[in-house]
């Protein structure tokens, strides 16, 4: 009985945690192939209101307008790249959830890996400096500025500790 309850709870939570699709029934195209293309394109486009959601997931009125615009372009015979290029020309690169690799987006693509590599290099240099400093800290009593009596006392203390 407990297993069934856990299984039911698992399925309910799984269903509840999946993103709700915002596409309304009146938006769905009659041609299943074009509808599939429209859904794929909608997953690649950013909702300008929600900003971290695709227009396929967003309930915002602007997202609905963009979904309808995508479907309208597909009805007119546009290819997928033509639809994307049309929306980028109209709204800018920000409309893409995954920005294109270009000169003006290079910082977005290469900035995080460069920061990660820089942090790793800084850690390596710090570790080397620390190990070098640790080796320098082990000065032999003969090389120090201690008097003979102080060196003898230090040697005696070191013997009793070890």
Q: pLDDT by residue (tens digit) across 118-130?
A: 999 999 999 998 8
Average pLDDT estimate for 111-137: 87
pLDDT level of residue 21 (50, 70, 90 thresholds): low
Fold assignment, 15-100: Helicase, Ruva Protein; domain 3 (1.10.8)
User: Hey, what's the torsion of the CAs at 12, 18, 19, 25, to 10 degrees?
Assistant: -60
| Phi–psi pair at 123, nearest 5 degrees | -65, -40
In angstroms, what is the C-alpha Rg of the chain?
Answer: 32
Beta bridge partner(s), residue 96: 45
pLDDT level of residue 19 (50, 70, 90 thresholds): very low
Mean pLDDT of the chain: 82
Beta bridge partner(s), residue 46: 54
pLDDT at position 78 is 93
Token duo for residue 152: 């003898």
**Is residue 11 packed enough to be buried (19+ CB in 10 Å), middle (13-18) or exposed (0-12)?**
exposed
pLDDT level of residue 45 (50, 70, 90 thresholds): very high
């Amino acid at each position: 009985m407990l297993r069934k309850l856990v299984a039911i709870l698992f399925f309910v939570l799984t269903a509840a945690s999946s993103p709700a699709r915002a596409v309304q029934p009146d938006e769905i195209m009659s041609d299943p192939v074009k509808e599939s293309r429209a859904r794929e394109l909608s997953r690649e486009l950013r909702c300008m209101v929600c900003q971290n959601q695709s227009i396929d997931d967003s309930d915002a009125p602007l997202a609905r307008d963009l979904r309808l615009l995508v479907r309208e372009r597909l009805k007119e015979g546009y290819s997928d790249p033509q639809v994307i290029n049309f929306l980028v020309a109209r709204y800018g690169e920000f409309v893409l959830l995954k920005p294109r690799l270009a000169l003006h987006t290079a910082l977005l693509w290469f900035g995080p890996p460069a920061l990660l590599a820089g942090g790793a290099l800084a850690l390596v240099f710090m570790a080397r400096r620390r190990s070098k400093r640790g080796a320098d800290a082990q000065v032999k009593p003969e090389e120090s500025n201690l008097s003979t009596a102080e060196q003898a006392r230090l040697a005696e203390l070191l013997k009793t500790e070890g």
